[in-house]
Structure 1
Amino acid sequence: MEGSVMHTSDTQVAARQVQYVHMPPQEPQEPSQNVSIPHIIPPAQSPLSPPLLAAGLVAVLAVGALTYWFVLDGNGFTARAEPVRIGIVEFEQQTDAFIGFKEQMTKLGYAEGKDVVYERSRVVPGPTMFDDMKVAIHRMLDEKVDLLWLSLELQAKVGVAVTKERNDTTPIVFSSRFHDPIEYGLAASYRSSGNNATGVTSDLFEIIQKYFEFFKEIDPNIKKIGVFTDGFMVPPIGDRYLQELKTQAPRFGYEIVEYTTAVPPPEAEAEFNRVAQTIKKGDIDALFHIAGHHYERQERGESELAIKLGIPFAVPYEDIPHGGQFSYSDNFTASGAQSAFMVDKILKGTNPSDIPIEYGAKTELWLVMHRARAAGITFPESMRFKAARIFESDAEIPPLY
């Protein structure tokens, strides 16, 4: 699938919450008959040292900057004179993260159409996606956005590199979904990125471990887990996820069975259907879907394969609307909302490197009962008890994008 980018300029907004500065009420003073006139020191006799004069100049400039960004009314500083402009570079699959982010910004007091404008560019997974990201980010920086909100670690890595190359300190807030942000080069540490970025990340180790535990709960006899990898997945998205699957599998007594192809991406759907036809009952005991694939709705094809084979099928959170029997992942809407608090701090003056990277606060198990039943799978009571959401039909699953 060829990568492409769509530019939408949502004049979606959010209003800025501003802290009012109130002076205590002052009692009126009667003029005194014995008021002394202070002695005014002529400039030539001023006792101010050059450092003090410099400090005064800095203070004047700071006040000037504030009056540019804020307007003053009878109660103090109330609103920014010009709207905050936030550049968004996103994949369709993370639309719910943006929705959560925008809704939380509104709750923080950022009024729509007044103090913030979201300028969005959408990127499609494929061979040109990194070039598309660079074009979008360069354009936004040229247009002087105040902050970049990047929905996945791929865009974030490009954003950090581009701003460094341009010697640009525009803040970046990101979501990291399929890579550890430290290993991936986004940050020096969780405590401090050491650069102009911060964000919310998934705990990849914990998520893969829980998936494997759930497979054990469904069927302790599972040994072989099938995964469509090289030629089907987009490596920059799914490579680290696959590595973690392979690393943890032996601890659970699992073998990862890979299905690969060398056909070019435009032929991925036809090739998937061909390969799927060759897989027989008993070849694999479970199926795991890795996000980021050339065949756009591959999770749907894998769902049909799991039903044919009568095996459990796990997918990442963002793919559950179109396929999969269960998902255990960060709730993207909640992670997007979590990132809004970081943006709020940055807009109020905090340096991104002073805001620690956080794990997603809301990781959820979702079960899709009718798909499991179609494959002859019964979720144990332990999983039903842990599930945040249980869906009886496709119609009940919220549209995440």
Structure 2
Amino acid sequence: MMTRRTFLCGLTLGVLSAPHAAGAQQAGKVYRIGTLVTSQIDLRGEIFLTFLERLQELGYRESRNLVFEHRGADGRPERLQELAQELIAANVDVIVAWSTPAVAAAKRVTTITPIIMASSGDAVATGLVDTLSRPGGNVTGVSTHQAELATKWLQLIVELLPRAKRILVLWDSTNPPDVVARPGLETAAAQMKTRLEFVEARDAADYELALRAAAERRVEGVIVLPSGRAYTHRIRLAEAALKSRLPTVHGFREFVDAGGLLSYAPSLRLLARQAANYVDRILKGAKPANLPVEQPTRFELIFNLKTAKALGLTIPQSLLVRADEVIQ
């Protein structure tokens, strides 16, 4: 089993300082990178360490030519803008933002400082960039197609539970990718003759109540649309789902590490490396408006067999053979 990754959703914000010489780092320059996550940054977590490792490969070293400013919103997305303003005051050179709300908060605060989407959903549909090829403004980075991913999550839970007719979808209407994903999910469910029940959930109590009520209504499975709030409460969410004997499908592997049943998601390690590449290009003088937005090239299917056993489920062999990792 891989080391648990606790670094999910993050936001960074900063102000561009002196102009950078194109194509090369400035001798003697110490660059300041701001980071802000919806929860709290784990500086020893695999995602941040992967990001840092790639920066080191590109010639950056902490305390030599690189300084970080970290901020965490403690699971309260409404604080992101305030924390972004703090990073502006700290005069960071570039913003690295994990999550759509983080990017959006940074964008509201500055039109000058480069903002890198280390992870975001549907950047065009949510208004973060103009187009993927020509993002415009001061935002670029990596973006997933959340609507397509949500349909894949539905397909997976139907393949896992072929007789299931009622699926609960836990979502957050304040999270833009959730809003973008819902119409596609509803269309796919109609084609599969599966009924979806959308329930708003934003804190641990919401998740516990929704899952308990779903079990009483004989709902057969759960799709948890990923958000910063869901990530913050992932352990409580997994415990509540297991108590209600409901299998869950997730958009981040950290939920499966916490006890969820399965996830299908981009490789967060590769996203971290892509984000570091953007940082390097920006610090060497590239303009965000001219750097095309990239999309993930690798997705991972992960199962938690311990959870499956606790639920009394047998994972079909057709799914297991496609798994990138199986947690025993």
- Report if TM-score (shorter chain) is over 0.5: yes
Instruction: For 1:117, give the aligned amino acid.
Output: V
Counterpart in the other structure of 1:363? 299
Cα separation, 2, equivalents of 1:121 and 1:336: 17
Cα separation, 1, equivalents of 2:66 and 2:83: 19
Instruction: State the SS of the aligned residue for 1:358.
Output: coil
Task: Give the conservation status (yes or no) of the 8 Å contact 1:306–1:312.
Answer: no
- 1:96-107 aligned at under 5 Å gives the runs 96-107=46-57
Q: Out of 102, 109, 120, which is 2:70 matched to?
A: 120
Instruction: For 1:235, give the aligned amino acid.
Output: T
Q: Out of 196, 205, 208, which is 1:256 matched to?
A: 196
Counterpart in the other structure of 1:108? 58
Cα separation, 2, equivalents of 1:328 and 1:134: 30
Task: Give the conservation status (yes or no) of the 8 Å contact 2:304–2:327.
Answer: yes
Cα separation, 1, equivalents of 2:183 and 2:225: 11
Corresponding position: 1:197 with 2:105: no
Partner deviation per Cα, 1:280-332 (whole Å, 9 max, x = no partner): 4772121222334478344223431453xxx5321221322223110001122
Q: Which has the larger radius of gyration?
A: 1
Normalising by structure 1, report the TM-score.
0.67
Counterpart in the other structure of 2:237? 299
Q: 1:143 to 1:283 in 2, by over 3 A?
A: same
Instruction: State the SS of the aligned residue for 1:387.
Output: coil
Counterpart in the other structure of 2:28? 81
Q: 1:94 to 1:249 in 2, by over 3 A?
A: farther
Q: 1:252 to 1:144 in 2, by over 3 A?
A: same
Task: Give the conservation status (yes or no) of the 8 Å contact 1:325–1:372.
Answer: yes
Task: Give the conservation status (yes or no) of the 8 Å contact 1:306–1:313.
Answer: no
Cα separation, 1, equivalents of 2:290 and 2:154: 36
Q: 1:302 to 1:359 in 2, by over 3 A?
A: farther
Q: How big is the shift at 1:351?
A: 0.9
Counterpart in the other structure of 1:377? 313
Instruction: State the SS of the aligned residue for 2:159.
Output: helix
Counterpart in the other structure of 1:12? none
Q: How big is the shift at 1:134?
A: 2.2
Normalising by structure 2, report the TM-score.
0.81
Q: How big is the shift at 1:272?
A: 4.8
Task: Give the conservation status (yes or no) of the 8 Å contact 1:159–1:172.
Answer: yes
Cα separation, 2, equivalents of 1:378 and 1:182: 39
Counterpart in the other structure of 1:172? 115
Cα separation, 2, equivalents of 1:151 and 1:280: 33
Instruction: For 2:241, give the aligned amino acid.
Output: S
Q: Out of 58, 78, 83, which is 1:136 matched to?
A: 83
Task: Give the conservation status (yes or no) of the 8 Å contact 1:223–1:253.
Answer: yes
Give the stretch that moved more between structures: 137-146 or 187-196: 137-146
- Computed over aligned residues only, the root mean square deviation of the Cα atoms, in angstroms, reads 2.9
Instruction: For 1:258, give the aligned amino acid.
Output: F
Q: 1:332 to 1:65 in 2, by over 3 A?
A: closer
Instruction: State the SS of the aligned residue for 1:235.
Output: coil
Corresponding position: 1:211 with 2:153: yes
Instruction: State the SS of the aligned residue for 1:291.
Output: coil
Q: How big is the shift at 1:276?
A: 4.2
Q: 1:270 to 1:363 in 2, by over 3 A?
A: closer
Identity %: 22
Counterpart in the other structure of 2:268? 332
Counterpart in the other structure of 2:101? 154
Instruction: State the SS of the aligned residue for 1:356.
Output: coil
Corresponding position: 1:92 with 2:61: no
Counterpart in the other structure of 2:124? 182
Q: How big is the shift at 1:184?
A: 1.0
Q: 1:273 to 1:134 in 2, by over 3 A?
A: closer
Which 5+ residue runs of structure 1 have no aligned equivalent?
Answer: 1-63, 70-76, 393-401
Task: Give the conservation status (yes or no) of the 8 Å contact 1:98–1:151.
Answer: no
Cα separation, 1, equivalents of 2:198 and 2:243: 15
Counterpart in the other structure of 1:221? 163
Cα separation, 2, equivalents of 1:120 and 1:194: 26
Task: Give the conservation status (yes or no) of the 8 Å contact 1:300–1:324.
Answer: yes
Task: Give the conservation status (yes or no) of the 8 Å contact 2:166–2:197.
Answer: yes
Q: Out of 274, 284, 299, which is 1:348 matched to?
A: 284
Partner deviation per Cα, 1:312-366 (whole Å, 9 max, x = no partner): 3212213222231100011222211111111111111111111110112221000
Q: 1:305 to 1:241 in 2, by over 3 A?
A: farther
Q: How big is the shift at 1:211?
A: 1.6
Partner deviation per Cα, 1:357-393 (whole Å, 9 max, x = no partner): 011222100011111121121112221121111110x
Instruction: State the SS of the aligned residue for 1:386.
Output: coil
Counterpart in the other structure of 1:283? 218
Cα separation, 2, equivalents of 1:97 and 1:341: 14
Cα separation, 1, equivalents of 2:51 and 2:173: 26
Task: Give the conservation status (yes or no) of the 8 Å contact 1:188–1:194.
Answer: yes
Cα separation, 2, equivalents of 1:327 and 1:86: 30
Instruction: For 2:30, give the aligned amino acid.
Output: P
Counterpart in the other structure of 1:321? 257
Task: Give the conservation status (yes or no) of the 8 Å contact 2:225–2:250.
Answer: yes
